Amino acid sequence: MTRLDDDLTARAEAWLAQDPDPETRAELQGLLDAARGDDGPAAQAAAADLADRFDGRLAFGTAGLRGEIAAGPNRMNRVLVSQAAAGLAAYLLERAEPGATPSVVIGYDGRKNSDVFARDSAELMAGAGVRAVLLPRLLPTPVLAFAVRHLGASAGVMVTASHNPPNDNGYKVYLGGDDHGSQIVSPADAEIAAHILRVASTTTVDALPRAPFETAGEDVVDAYVTATAQVADAPPAAGAQPRVVYTAMHGVGWQTMSRVLEAAGFTAPALVDEQIAPDPAFPTVSFPNPEEPGAMDLSFARAREVGADLVIANDPDADRLAIAIPDPSAPEGFRRLTGNEVGLILGWQAAERATASARGEGGAEGTLACSIVSSPGLEAIARAYDLEFRGTLTGFKWISRAPGLVFGYEEALGYLVNPGTLRDKDGISAGLAFLSLAARLKAEGRSVADHLDTFIERFGCFASGQISIRVTDLTKIAEVMARLRATPPAEIGGVRVERIDDLAHGYGDLPPSDVLRIVLDGGARVMVRPSGTEPKLKVYLDTVSTAGTVAERRAAAHAALAALDAGMRALVA
């Protein structure tokens, strides 16, 4: 039973005194008033809520900040963001060359308070002595990632929570210079976090100096559009192009995507009008993530209406891409391709292009990279084309740093097809690359489904699945991981476990991570890890079959996947 004590009261009142946001001030005052009530259930619930907000702090890590918008240090709000901005400014000033002025470019999407958090950050960082440049309007995350390199900035900040629930927001940090515009990794995250904690413990945000900031011109967006349009091959005549449906999932992707498609010579797609404009309430989806069941139902309905060959969907900040194709056996008449299917198709295309560009100049060079929880199929492609392969920890902060990168992806719908332009996943350039491929296939009288069969014929059938267990008590995730380590399984789904790699202390070139890799006979594999952004335990399943016809390979791989799924569900229940 939680009760309001003097210490909790003092911390809440100190936060209240410096909060510039009338909404979160009123919310916090209401909780304090309720917690000071008659010690009934309502007062106890309010005190417990306050304790949850003030007994911890939203951690700043390699994913930056992300959480629910509400008052308190364990939530996203203007106080927390102001502290983060001041801490990041201190970090940039500390590492700048003597006499040099570090710079930061800041972007924001259409979520609640994204523009407010971005402007606070720009004013505070300018006030600290950093040259702060705000993008001209709400824009996709890939435009911000591009702008870090394009403007030669020391750092970048994107205010977004990507595809999280509607009341969440986040703060994603990129570094320029030797980091080439990639997201932060260790030790930068810990160093920035230390500066943030120093700010939080030594001053109040109302005492931090503010100053005017610069606003970037539209030329930054123009440059992104021009560079991204180069991803596509010259398209066929308008009448011969694939019929496409596009949805922005209530996010910021469409305005930029439309310009990129036009610059590349593609006709405008049919739109899911209900989802095309930014709306922080995300009214047509229960969860604004194309991977979630039902999220693409309106896209499928529009695709049936226009007889589409292809559905292209971005998540709300347009750094992820979902693709769907016609499938008469699917209930909706369309099937969303898995992230691995899209990644392998785009990776194959990248390998072909690397080989073509190397003809007459020696062998193909470059690296295909994916997260270790993504399909082993990308490594098979790299071997077939004599390219390097790099498996990394989850996240584009790692994938983007692969030496010689020509293509990278992660199964959670993230793809980087143009690493020379930016160093983060980009759902706009990846969407254009996939459309360009679909257009070439259509000109050859083939479909994306045909191309998937050709892939299986050449490389084998790589089937993948995922078990995602959402929890309210994070200790349950730790308990499952501890149990798997203490009593490792000898077999899963009737298949013998060959070995288990525990990445907790690092493995090869991989830094330490709370991940278990279970390798089974026959090439099957299971990866188990806690989610880095949500209260989930994630289990990734992969099987492969290279024997027999395309149909036989597909049937064998999916049968093995079903057995693996059943076996793992029993283990993590």
Among 82, 162, 371, 464, which one carries the catalytic annotation? 162
- Residue 572 exposed, middle or buried by CB count within 10 Å (0-12, 13-18, 19+): middle
The end-to-end CA distance of the chain, in Å, is: 29
Coil, strand, or helix at residue 271? strand
Which backbone phi and psi does 391 adopt, to 5 degrees? -95, 130
Coil, strand, or helix at residue 63? coil
Closest CA to 159 of 231, 237, 65, 72: 65
What pLDDT does 11 receive?
95
Would you put residue 284 in left (φ > 0), alpha (ψ -120 to 50) or beta? Answer: alpha
CA atoms of 71 and 76, how far apart (whole Å): 7
- DSSP secondary structure of 163-227: TS-TTEEEEEEEE-GGGTTEEP-TTHHHHHHHHHHHHHHH--GGGS-----EE--THHHHHHHHH
Q: Are 71 and 15 in contact (CB under 8 A)?
A: yes
CA atoms of 333 and 326, how far apart (whole Å): 6
Domains observed in the chain: 1-55 (no CATH), 62-217 (3.40.120.10), 236-336 (3.40.120.10), 460-572 (3.30.310.50)
Q: Are 432 and 394 in contact (CB under 8 A)?
A: no
What's at 514, amino acid-wise?
A: D
What pLDDT does 4 receive?
84
CA atoms of 284 and 444, how far apart (whole Å): 37
Q: Give this prediction's pTM.
A: 0.95
Contacts of 224 (CB under 8 A, 6+ apart): 142, 143, 146, 147, 150, 256, 421
Mean pLDDT per 10-residue segment, the chain (573 residues) = 84 97 97 88 92 94 89 98 98 96 98 98 98 98 98 98 94 96 95 97 97 98 98 92 98 98 98 98 94 95 98 98 97 96 98 82 84 97 97 95 97 96 97 98 97 98 94 89 95 95 92 94 94 84 97 97 96 87
Contacts of 493 (CB under 8 A, 6+ apart): 560, 563, 564, 565, 566, 567, 568
DSSP secondary structure letter of residue 67: E
Q: Are 407 and 350 in contact (CB under 8 A)?
A: yes
Closest CA to 408 of 437, 439, 382: 382
CA atoms of 170 and 534, how far apart (whole Å): 13
Closest CA to 375 of 544, 506, 569: 544
Q: In what order do the strands lie in the sheet with 367-371?
A: 388-392, 367-371, 405-410, 414-416
Task: Give 466's strand partners.
Answer: 540
Is residue 121 part of the annotated active site? The answer reads no
Beta strand segments in 211-352, E: 214-215, 244-247, 270-271, 310-314, 321-326, 334-336
What pLDDT does 312 receive?
98
DSSP secondary structure letter of residue 274: G
